Chain A
Amino acid sequence: MVEALLFWFLALVTLFGAVAMLLVPNPIYAAMSLVVSMIGISGLFAFLGADFIAGVQVIVYAGAVLVLFVMVLMLFDLKSETQAFSKGLLSRIFKVASVGFLLGGLIGVMVLEFSWILPVFMQSSPQWTMTGVKKMAQLLFTEYMFIFQILGVLLLVVAVGAVALARSRGGTHERA
């Protein structure tokens, strides 16, 4: 029962943040709503026992990524931004309808598959505790070593790429 209440609380927070992000015209508010949503998701992660990931979620997403967004938005200083959506009422209706359809499909498929309608076991298995993090680290550096390394390349690309883009013609730090 407590779990249920907790779940519903977190779920509502998350959904509220997501819906708000979708609806508010001001991008800064949207970013803030997204932060709320992400924190909610982080809570859900924790609820599912993925403590480490939950932490990372808060730090990386809510902390780093969204801050980046906000900074950029502030850089732009979009005061005049009053309209949330693109033009075209009809196309909006169609878009919402189609996404609704897609959602229906996803959920329908899930409902058809009865194995998922099982209660979530709250007692955490040994794997999922702090030793789980160690396990994860082990996995990361053995089984998924390759991916880990490649991600390093990716980050380098991002670093160099962002700089290069900024300094290229038309970038923020264009060379004369």
Chain B
Amino acid sequence: MKGLELFTTVTYAHFLFLSFVLFALGVLGVLLRRNLIVVMMSVELMLNAVNLTFITFAKALNQLDGQIFVFFVMTIAAAEAAVGLAIVVAIFKRFREVNIRFFQFLKG
């Protein structure tokens, strides 16, 4: 597979590639972003990327299980987001702060 074919024929590799890039972007978000909520959104993005991977594999393997996993992951991700936001809200209410650098009291 060379040249133009790379663009014309969509392979599983394309999907996986995409999902890995999304995952990497999510990781970057976690590593770099300043805002706690955006960091959490980046985690969501990572999970989404994994979902995409799952679906791709499910398609390739011709199995439904992969889709079921995605279903579970989505639920869990939603739950995580809810809990995370609850914590963030609690924190914000108390400290008026969502800068991730703010949380450096525990160290050493």
Contact = CB atoms under 8 A, between A and B. Distances in A.
Are A and B a genuine interacting pair, yes or no? yes
| Size class of the A contact interface (CB-based, 8 Å) | 35 or more
Contacts of B38: 21, 27, 30
A140 B14 CA distance: 29
A14 B17 CA distance: 13
A120 B59 contact: yes
A81 B92 CA distance: 14
Interface SS majority for chain B:
helix
Given A18-B22, A61-B48, A162 B11 contact: no
Interface of A: 1, 3-4, 7-8, 11, 14-15, 18-19, 21-22, 27, 30-31, 34, 37-38, 41, 44-45, 48-50, 52-53, 56-57, 60-61, 64-65, 68-69, 72-73, 75-76, 78, 81, 83-87, 92, 95-96, 99-100, 102-103, 106-107, 110-111, 116-120, 125, 127-128, 132, 135-136, 139-140, 144, 147, 151, 154-155, 157-158, 161-162, 165-166, 168, 170-172
Interface of B: 1, 7-18, 20-29, 31-35, 37-38, 40-42, 44-45, 48, 51-52, 55-56, 58-60, 62, 64-65, 67-68, 70-72, 74-79, 81-83, 85-90, 92-94, 98, 100-101
Contacts of A50: 55, 58-59, 67, 70
B11 A41 contact: no
A151 B1 contact: no
Contacts, number: 228
Contacts of A18: 21-22, 25-26, 45
B17 A57 contact: no
A4 B5 CA distance: 10
